[in-house]
């Protein structure tokens, strides 16, 4: 899309609301509240939970599900709580496994989510000696080549209770399985509802109201990207409050990384063909498949978020745009402002790779110079 068209987002949104026929209320940033919410529980550390991994078959054909069975066991004398997102309790939503072929890492091709700060309902509790066993399909990993795959459950222990603190890896035993290559998992193509401009399209049966809202969000995101890029381009590189709050101790290389990321984010909003999909019903804000630019799936929390400000609609689109490998290739190390601020202090390198850190820098709420 030309910069002219991008500059007319608001005008187009008005046209959409008049002429067209017709991603997670969200809790506040409550990382501190989570710690004290269940005093009798202990947050799991790497030594509190044992993980075992097994496979029913040593050889898996191309037409068979490539799955493994994971068992998490509380080995302590007290209950422990675990953040469901980083366990196999429900469907696989994160790269919980280290998967290799001939010793080389295999890519996780699943979605990257923007989630609200974790609530107590997002945790599960294991009583002393209790186990959780689930069979997990590895279809979100690149299993396109035939060979002997090494598989291991491996999660940073801090993530199990929503912390950015490094507390060691929670690892299972290694399992080796011969897997016949199969097509990589791809998202089912959604129906195309409308294409409002040459570079903005909608899918997933977006309503007229939703399309208008999304155009407003695109306006907000574009303005945030412009502002962030201008700040990093015109401000003398230094440990400014805005930079250090979200990206940590100043370094010239860190500033350059942030500048490069936001130049790419701005360019994506200005010139790339963006598709916005309304089909997600999860309680999250949004998600993307990093290797499938530039399609953003918005979820339930997106619609109740403010247009601008903390955890906003515009900021959500910044967050998701940063995930694309063709843009900045960010990950989700932590969620929420408290977590992002702590990450900036403890691990500036990870902060420069954290999508929420980019979002909060762009939203700049509270305002920082």
List, by residue number, the catalytic residues.
320
Give the HSE-up count for residue 34: Cα atoms under 13 Å, Cβ half-sphere: 24
| CB distance 332 to 354 below 8 Å | yes
Contacts of 366 (CB under 8 A, 6+ apart): none
Closest among 44, 23, 244, 8 to 126, alpha carbons compared: 44
- CA 353 to the chain's CA centroid: 11
Angle at 251 between CA 250 and CA 256, to 5 degrees: 110
| CB distance 280 to 115 below 8 Å | no
For 298-315, b/e burial (b = at least 16 CB within 10 A) is: bbbbbbebeebebbbbbb
Please state whether beta strands 49-54 and 112-114 pair in parallel, antiparallel, or not at all (unpaired): unpaired
| CB distance 231 to 306 below 8 Å | no
Give the HSE-up count for residue 44: Cα atoms under 13 Å, Cβ half-sphere: 32
Residue at token pair 């609530």: 119
Q: What is the CA radius of gyration of the chain?
A: 21
Contacts of 115 (CB under 8 A, 6+ apart): 24, 85, 284, 285, 332, 335
Task: Tokens for 250, please give them.
Answer: 């100043």
Q: What is the dihedral of CA 349, 354, 358, 359, to 10 degrees?
A: -160
| CB distance 131 to 47 below 8 Å | no
What is the Cα–Cα distance from 220 to 233, expressed in whole angstroms? 20
Residue at token pair 């190390």: 333
């Amino acid at each position: 899309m030309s910069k002219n068209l991008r500059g007319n987002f608001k005008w187009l949104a008005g046209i959409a609301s008049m002429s067209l026929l017709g991603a997670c209320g969200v809790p506040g940033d409550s990382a501190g509240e989570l710690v004290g919410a269940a005093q009798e529980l202990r947050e799991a550390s790497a030594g509190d939970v044992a993980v075992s991994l097994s496979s029913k078959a040593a050889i898996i054909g191309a037409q068979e599900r490539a799955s493994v069975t994971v068992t998490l066991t509380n080995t302590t004398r007290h209950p422990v709580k675990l953040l469901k997102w980083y366990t196999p309790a429900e469907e696989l939503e994160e790269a919980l496994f280290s998967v290799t072929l001939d010793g080389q890492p295999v890519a996780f091709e699943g979605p990257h989510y923007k989630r609200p700060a974790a609530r107590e309902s997002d945790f599960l509790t294991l009583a002393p000696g209790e186990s959780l066993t689930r069979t997990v399909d590895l279809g979100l990993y690149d299993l396109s080549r035939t060979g002997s795959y090494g598989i291991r459950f491996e999660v940073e222990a801090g993530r199990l209770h929503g912390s950015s603190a490094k507390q060691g890896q929670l690892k299972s035993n290694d399992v080796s399985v011969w897997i016949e290559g199969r097509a990589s998992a791809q998202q089912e193509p959604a129906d195309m509802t409308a294409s409002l401009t040459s570079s903005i399209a909608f899918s997933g049966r977006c309503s007229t109201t939703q399309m208008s809202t999304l155009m407003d969000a695109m306006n907000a995101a574009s303005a945030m990207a412009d502002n962030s890029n201008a700040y990093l381009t015109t401000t003398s590189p230094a440990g400014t409050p805005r930079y250090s709050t979200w990206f940590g101790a100043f370094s010239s290389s860190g500033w350059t990384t942030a500048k490069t990321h936001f130049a790419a984010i701005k360019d994506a909003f200005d010139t790339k063909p963006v598709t916005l999909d309304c089909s997600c019903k999860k309680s999250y804000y949004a998600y993307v498949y990093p290797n499938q630019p530039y399609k953003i799936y918005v979820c339930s929390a997106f619609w109740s978020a403010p247009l601008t400000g903390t955890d906003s609609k515009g900021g959500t689109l910044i967050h998701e745009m940063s995930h694309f490998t063709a843009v900045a290739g960010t990950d989700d190390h932590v969620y929420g402002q408290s977590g992002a601020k702590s990450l900036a202090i403890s691990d500036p390198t990870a902060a420069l790779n954290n999508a929420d850190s980019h979002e909060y820098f762009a939203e700049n709420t509270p305002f920082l110079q």
